[in-house]
């Protein structure tokens, strides 16, 4: 496990799933952790579980002001921000393009794409002024593969992957490390929603086909180390056995 002692980490979408698992993993590795999400009660509960090194921050990533405030709160509380994990995302609406509600489609882009941009925009100048940092974004196979009923999700994830490339291009010389993580299918509430939809092959996967949230959380820790530097500006695919071996996960 990476030693994150003295480091400060901001995780969006930290109320459940990968975000909550990442908060626990980074805290276990010694980091100060800020949990950002709309679910105030959930992040407060997880912060109490983690203890004194955890800070709950109510935040809607679709609102740039809220994300910027969260970054400032991290710096005020912990003195700096070393890592941002852009994790917040929604899978809905799940619907074919000829029937999907345009307002719901736009809302998904506000969270899944603009929310990622807001994280980059808020954190990059602060990290640059402090000499660098790491920004990790949860990507998806949906960034490169069209899926029935997932036009909003696929479009947003494709855009987020390009944001990773752009942020690396603009931030690397300032000491900012930018990497995406494509975790595969993970046993979270999102997958329950997918299962209930009955749309496309992912909904027909058995629950045992999904990996536990602790696995991508462990991968995010590894991505903070120099061993992951060869992946700067692109996505790490956790489905690859070689990657799992390097992270220390079952293959």
- pLDDT per residue, tens digit, the chain (251 aa), is 789 999 999 999 999 999 999 999 999 999 999 999 999 999 999 999 999 889 999 999 999 999 999 999 999 999 999 999 999 999 999 999 999 999 999 999 999 999 999 999 999 999 999 999 999 999 999 999 999 999 999 999 999 999 999 999 999 999 999 999 999 889 888 888 999 898 888 988 888 889 999 999 999 999 999 999 999 999 999 999 999 999 999 98
Cβ-contact 222, 197 below 8 angstroms: no
User: Can you tell me the distance from the alpha carbon of 204 to that of 12, in angstroms, rounded to the nearest whole number?
Assistant: 28
| Residue 52 pLDDT | 83
Q: Please pick, among 105, 120, 153, 215, the residue that the annotation labels catalytic.
A: 153
Contacts of 2 (CB under 8 A, 6+ apart): 29, 221, 222, 224, 225
pTM for the full predicted model: 0.94
- Distance from C-alpha of 4 to C-alpha of 28, rounded to nearest angstrom: 9
Report residue 238 as tokens.
């956790």
* Domain edges within the chain: 8-247
- Please tell me the predicted confidence (pLDDT) of residue 17: 95
Residue-by-residue DSSP string for the chain = ----TT-EEEEESTTSHHHHHHHHHHHHTT-EEEEEES-HHHHHHHHHHH-TTEEEEE--TT-HHHHHHHHHHHHHHHS---EEEE----------TTTS-HHHHHHHHIIIIIHHHHHHHHHHHHHHHTT-EEEEEE--GGGTS--TT-HHHHHHHHHHHHHHHHHHHHHGGGTEEEEEEE--SBSSHHHHHHHHHT-TGGGGS-GGGSBPTHHHHHHHHHTTSGGGGGGTTSEEETTSHHHHHHHT---
Q: How far apart are CA 154 and CA 143, in angstroms?
A: 5
62 annotated active-site: no
Nearest CA to 5 out of 35, 24, 36, 27 is that of: 27
Distance of alpha carbon 185 from alpha carbon 238, whole angstroms: 10
The superfamily CATH assigns to domain 8-247 is NAD(P)-binding Rossmann-like Domain (3.40.50.720)
- The two tokens of residue 46 are 């997880």
* Residue the block writes with tokens 């995406």: 180
């Amino acid at each position: 496990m990476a030693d994150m002692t003295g480091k400060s980490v901001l995780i969006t979408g930290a109320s459940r799933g990968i975000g909550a698992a990442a908060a626990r993993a980074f805290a276990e590795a010694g980091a100060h952790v800020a949990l950002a999400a709309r679910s105030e009660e959930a992040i407060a509960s997880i912060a109490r579980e983690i203890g004194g090194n955890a800070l709950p921050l109510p935040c809607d990533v679709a609102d740039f002001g809220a994300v910027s405030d969260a970054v400032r709160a991290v710096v005020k509380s912990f003195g700096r921000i070393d890592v941002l994990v852009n994790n917040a995302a929604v899978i809905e609406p799940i619907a074919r393009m000829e029937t999907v509600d345009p307002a719901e489609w736009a809302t998904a882009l506000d969270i899944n794409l603009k929310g990622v941009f807001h994280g980059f925009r808020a954190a990059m100048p602060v990290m640059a002024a402090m000499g660098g940092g790491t920004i990790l974004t949860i990507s998806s196979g949906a960034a490169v593969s069209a899926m029935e009923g997932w036009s909003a999700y696929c479009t947003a994830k494709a855009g987020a992957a390009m944001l990773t490339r752009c942020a690396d291009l603009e931030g690397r010389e300032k000491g900012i490390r930018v990497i995406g993580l494509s975790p595969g299918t993970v046993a979270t509430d999102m997958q329950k929603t997918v299962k209930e939809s009955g749309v496309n092959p992912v909904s027909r996967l058995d629950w045992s086909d999904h990996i536990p949230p602790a696995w991508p959380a462990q991968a995010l820790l590894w991505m903070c180390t120099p061993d992951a530097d060869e992946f700067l500006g692109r996505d790490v695919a956790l489905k690859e056995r070689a990657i799992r071996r390097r992270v220390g996960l079952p293959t």
